[in-house]
């Protein structure tokens, strides 16, 4: 009889230990998914584009001003937006944390039809194994002509 009582006691303790371990696991996963993390702060609402009028196939320059708050690499997607989104290119940024103020050259695709466009820079930071933080900023409108 004592063996069964001892076994029941250990099963009772093991069940509470597994409930506690599951609780801790849920807390850690919840923290990883929902804790607010800021990776990039843009210093302008809309970044500047030079020149304002450009032909398809030429190069424009964009003025980016931002604070990068993490050292993690980022994947940057650049898109031209009219009523249709046209992906320009994607690159990986390996910049360290700090303040940046620089001009970036962006080739205008030959496939763009004349019209009014703006650029969207979409920055994807891998925060942890479960989460990617996405930050977007856009340019002032510019015109593509024939």
* Helix (H), strand (E), coil (C) string for 39-53: CEEECCCEEEEECCE
pLDDT of residue 26: 93
Query: What whole-number distance in Å separates Cα of residue 41 and Cα of residue 91?
Result: 19
- In terms of phi and psi (left: phi > 0; alpha: psi -120 to 50; beta: otherwise), the region of 25 is alpha
pLDDT of residue 83: 80
Nearest to residue 137, comparing CAs of 104, 98, 108?
A: 104
Which class is domain 40-145? mainly beta
How would residue 1 be classed by pLDDT, with cut points 50, 70 and 90?
A: low
pLDDT of residue 74: 87
- Which runs of consecutive H residues, i.e. helices, occur in the chain? 2-34
- Cα separations (Å) of 125 from 33, 106, 108, 121? 14, 21, 25, 13
User: How is residue 40 written in tokens?
Assistant: 């990039």
pTM: 0.74
pLDDT, tens digit (0-9, with 9 covering 90-100), for 86-101: 888 888 888 888 899 8
**Structure-block tokens of residue 29:** 């996963």
Domain boundaries defined on the chain: 1-35, 40-145
Provide the percentage of residues in the chain whose pLDDT is more than 90: 10
Give the pLDDT confidence score for residue 17 in this predicted structure.
Answer: 92
Tens digits of residue pLDDT in 43-75:
887 888 888 899 988 999 999 888 888 888 889
């Amino acid at each position: 009889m004592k063996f069964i009582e001892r076994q029941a006691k250990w099963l009772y303790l093991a069940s509470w230990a597994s409930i506690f371990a599951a609780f801790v696991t849920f807390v850690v996963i919840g923290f990883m998914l929902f804790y607010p993390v800021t990776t990039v702060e843009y210093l302008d609402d809309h970044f500047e584009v030079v020149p304002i009028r450009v032909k398809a196939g030429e190069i424009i320059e964009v003025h980016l001003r931002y604070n990068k708050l993490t050292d993690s690499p980022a994947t940057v997607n650049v898109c031209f937006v009219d009523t249709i989104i046209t992906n320009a290119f994607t690159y990986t940024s390996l910049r360290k944390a700090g303040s940046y103020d620089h001009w970036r050259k962006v080739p205008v695709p030959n496939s763009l039809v004349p019209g009014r466009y703006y650029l969207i820079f979409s920055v994807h930071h891998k925060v942890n194994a479960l989460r990617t933080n996405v930050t977007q900023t856009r340019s002032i409108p510019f015109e593509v002509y024939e």
